[in-house]
Amino acid sequence: MKAGNLEELPIGKVFTLIEQGPVLLVATRDGRKNNVMTITWSTVLDFNGNFAIVTGPWNHSYDALRKNRECVVAIPPASLLETAVDIGICSGTDTDKFNRFALTAIKGQAVKAPLIGECLANIECQVTDYVERHGLWVLSALRAWTNPTLTDRRVAHAIGDGTFVIDGETVNLRDRMAAKIPAGAF
């Protein structure tokens, strides 16, 4: 169907228009072992370190999130995109993903889940809410870490259909937006 020069998009594909990314790795610890899963559905909720991710019982990490109510959300550089995809297509049920993908588990300061040494940033989080109907986990940042030693500072964003966009040119409009940017944001 058309509306003027616009073509209708099936509702089942709407998420490909607004899936935010970035590609994230979510590390958990179930009490015995570390695990990591790939997430691309996330959103910031405020300026105070509260954000949300979406996952459900189809992921092995779901039980650790539900039981321990904590995790580490890590942002891998674009150079780890293929690894992040591979992490997402195998299960922690029968795979030690930290070993298989040569990820460095670093002891967290606020949670039992590990930080991931190869990532640009790691956020230690506690679960503050879960909206079961949508698989929406509301997280509150407890501690955050960045890795200034990585030369690849680019981040990958999922489109949702198996394709990705990698950050490119940065456009600085801070002066124009200064009245809307909270103190300390830059």
Structure tokens at 41: 């559905």
pLDDT > 70? residue 186: no
Class of domain 19-177: mainly beta
Is residue 20's pLDDT more than 80? no
- Whole-number pLDDT of residue 84: 97
Q: Is pLDDT of 17 > 80?
A: no
At 138, the pLDDT band (50, 70, 90 cuts) reads very high
Closest residue by Cα to residue 20 from 47, 53, 50: 53
Highest mean pLDDT: which range of 11-15, 123-127, 156-160: 123-127
What integer pLDDT is reported at residue 54 of this predicted model? 95
Mean pLDDT of 79-88: 97
pLDDT above 80: residue 76: yes
Between residues 107 and 15, the one the model is more confident about: 107
Percent of the chain surpassing pLDDT 90: 72
Please report the pLDDT score of residue 111 as a whole number. 98
On the question of pLDDT at 94 being above 80, the answer is yes
Burial class (CB in 10 A: 0-12, 13-18, 19+), 5: exposed
Summary mean pLDDT of the chain: 92
| Residue 21, CA distances (Å) to 41, 55, 103, 177 in order | 6, 14, 21, 23
pLDDT band at 100 (very low <50, low <70, confident <90, very high): very high
Q: What value does the mean pLDDT take over residues 15-19? A: 75
Q: DSSP assignment of 115-151, as one string? A: EETTSSEEEEEEEEEEEGGGTEEEEEEEEEEE-TT-S
